[in-house]
Amino acid sequence: MAGHILTLNAGSSSVKFALFSDEPEPQCQWRGQVEGLGENPVLSMEAGNNGENVERNLDPETITDPSAALNEIFAIFSERAPGDKLSAIGHRVVHGGVDHTGPAIIDQTVYAGLEKLSPFAPLHQPHNLAGVRAAQAAYPDVPQVACFDTAFHRSHPWVNDTFALPRELYDKGVRRYGFHGLSYEYICRELHRTAPHHHQGGVVIAHLGNGASMTATRGGQSVGSTMGFSALDGLPMGTRCGQLDPGVVLYLMDQEGMDAEQILNMLYRESGLKGLSGLSHDMRTLLASGSKEAMQAIDYYIFRIRRELGAMTAILNGLDALVFCGGIGENAWRIRERVCDDLDWLGLELDETRNRSSERIVSSDRSRVRVFVIPTDEEWIIAYHAAALLRG
């Protein structure tokens, strides 16, 4: 029987999944997602080999949470590949803490340690672990592999890993972790494969989606990140605030009478592009709107990206390449154009035609800094790690 690796990325309102062949260089057979959990759940799938698309509405009375969505996904696997077996199930786990510098097979000890990290990522970790529990219940004999968004950044120098707080807090884990590491790892592999010279140099990767961050790499190693202790820090995102003076939180508690749960909800779900525009978290909607508030939200988004690009360039002592990835980074040419506008002082110049066509290289032939648009694939890197870990 053929062996496969199933990858899962369980969130609060959606679950992404993909099925790969079990081989050193995994090949995608299917990928898809369940969206709209708690409202109007919809399952969509696309075959990686023949282009077949499947979309179906799910029962909102029964598919109410990630666990129910996962059971639907497991049923589809059994239905479409009845003669196949799973070699492993790979999970995206947002937080690996200090100790996890690479993927890990999930046993009771590992799972217990990951549960203790839930306060560090309260809106992500519990859902990731719910996915693990559902997979263990459905496939008790199949190895479960955790792949961590924080692991890629564990090579940070100390100065980018700490806050200027009492030292004992650092020892308790209050430090900068960085996130989106699976995406960054995939982009670095692609650069190493297709542009090894730039891979070895100073690279800033901008992962721009509903969650957004930037990281600085040299030789494929992370040396700086805009995200810190939590997935709130750095760039403004779809519904998350990005960088925030901690005094604002103290003010909200003291003067506005808000408790921790209210503040958490505001910073994670009601801020960012959605909060600034009062309209939507979706960049496509904002670009099409043209309202003053939508344009101001975009202006702030661009400003923060350009500001962090300068900071990351300083960390690297110069810039050799800039990579855009993520839903906005890969598709919104207007955002890339505005980010790169008037950066000739940095040796960076876009080619208008290439950029508007979202080609692989969108910089001009005169540009000293090469600008790439590279679609990221977190599911592939999870499958790759799961296969490699099983082979020792």
Residues annotated as part of the active site: 149
Q: What are phi and psi of 97, to 5 degrees?
A: 65, -160
Task: DSSP letter for 285, please.
Answer: H
Strand 3-10: give its sheet, edge to edge. Answer: 53-57, 42-47, 28-35, 14-21, 3-10, 85-93, 144-148, 104-105
Looking at this protein, which amino acid is placed at residue 192? H
Q: Are 271 and 240 in contact, with CB atoms under 8 Å apart?
A: yes
Q: Are 146 and 93 in contact, with CB atoms under 8 Å apart?
A: yes
Residue recorded with tokens 């070895």: 200
Quote helix, strand, coil % in the chain, to nearest 5. 40, 20, 35
SS3 (DSSP) at 293? helix
Structure tokens at 71: 């059971």
Q: Are 66 and 131 in contact, with CB atoms under 8 Å apart?
A: yes
